[in-house]
Amino acid sequence: MEKNREELTYRPIGIIHTGFRDKKETPIQGVFAKDAKGEVEVFPEYAAGLKDIEDFSHIILIYHFHLSDGYSLISKPFLEGEQHGIFSIRHFNRPNPIGLSVVRLESVIGNKLKISEVDIIDGTMLLDIKPFVPQFDHRDNAKSGWLSNPHLDLVRGESGKHGPE
C-alpha cells in the first residue's frame, strides 16, 4: 500500500447518549432540533481534556457513523430529491463514516457534557471534541451551493428527519 494511503486507526474518547434510536427519527441537523437533548460521556482517561470547555456555548462533536452501511459517491440528500456528490452533502454513507455536529453545551458535570440541538443517534462513538469559536468558524460571503435553492425553506427552519417521508 502506498505510504500516503495507509490505513488509519482512531480510538473513541467517549460515547454520545441521546433519545434517538434509529436514522428515521433523528433530526437532519441540530439547528432544526433546538429541544433535542443528549449527553456526551467522555471516558475517564480523557476527562482532564475537558478543562475550560464549560465556558463555550457550543462545541463541535466529531464521531463515527456506526450505522452507516457502506457508501455511495452520488446520493440523494435529505433536504432534496436530486442526487449530489457525497462530498457536497451531509449524508452518513461516506467513504469514511465520520460525522460532525455543532451542539449547544448546556453544562459540564465531571466527565459528562449535557448538550442540546442534537442530531446524533444513541450509542455513537465520539472521536473528538472541538470548541465552536464564531471568530474562527464563520466566513463572510460563504456560499451554500445547492442548499441555496429557495424551495428548501432553510431560512424558515423547516425541520425534517433522516428517513424518507
Residue 72 CB neighbour total at 10 angstroms: 13
Q: By CB neighbour count within 10 A (0-12 exposed, 13-18 middle, 19+ buried), where does 139 fall?
A: exposed
In this prediction, residue 19 carries a pLDDT of 86
Cα(80)–Cα(92) distance, rounded to whole angstroms?
Answer: 15
> What average pLDDT does the segment 26-33 reach?
64
List, for residues 115-163, the tens digit of each pLDDT value: 999 988 999 999 999 999 988 888 788 777 777 765 555 543 444 444 4
Minimum mean pLDDT range among 21-30, 79-88, 124-133: 21-30
User: Quick check: 105 pLDDT over 90?
Assistant: yes
DSSP SS3 for 42 = strand
In this prediction, residue 143 carries a pLDDT of 78
In this prediction, residue 67 carries a pLDDT of 78
In this prediction, residue 149 carries a pLDDT of 64
Residue-by-residue DSSP string for 114-140? EEES----TTEEEEEEEE--HHHH--T
Instruction: Give bridge partners of residue 98 from the DSSP assignment.
Output: 64
Average pLDDT, the chain: 83
Integer-rounded Cα radius of gyration of the chain: 17
Q: Are 127 and 93 in contact (CB under 8 A)?
A: no
In this prediction, residue 1 carries a pLDDT of 53
Neighbouring C-alpha atoms within 13 Å toward the C-beta of 5: 2
What is the fold, at CATH topology level, of the domain defined by 10-134+141-152? Elongation Factor Tu (Ef-tu); domain 3 (2.40.30)
In this prediction, residue 31 carries a pLDDT of 63
Scan for cell 454520545, then name that residue: 16
In this prediction, residue 156 carries a pLDDT of 38
Cα separation of the two ends of the chain? 43
| Residue 30 pLDDT grade (very low, low, confident, very high; cuts 50, 70, 90) | low
DSSP SS3 for 105 = strand
Ranges of each domain in the chain:
10-134+141-152
In this prediction, residue 158 carries a pLDDT of 46
Sign of the dihedral through C-alpha 25, 125, 88, 132: positive
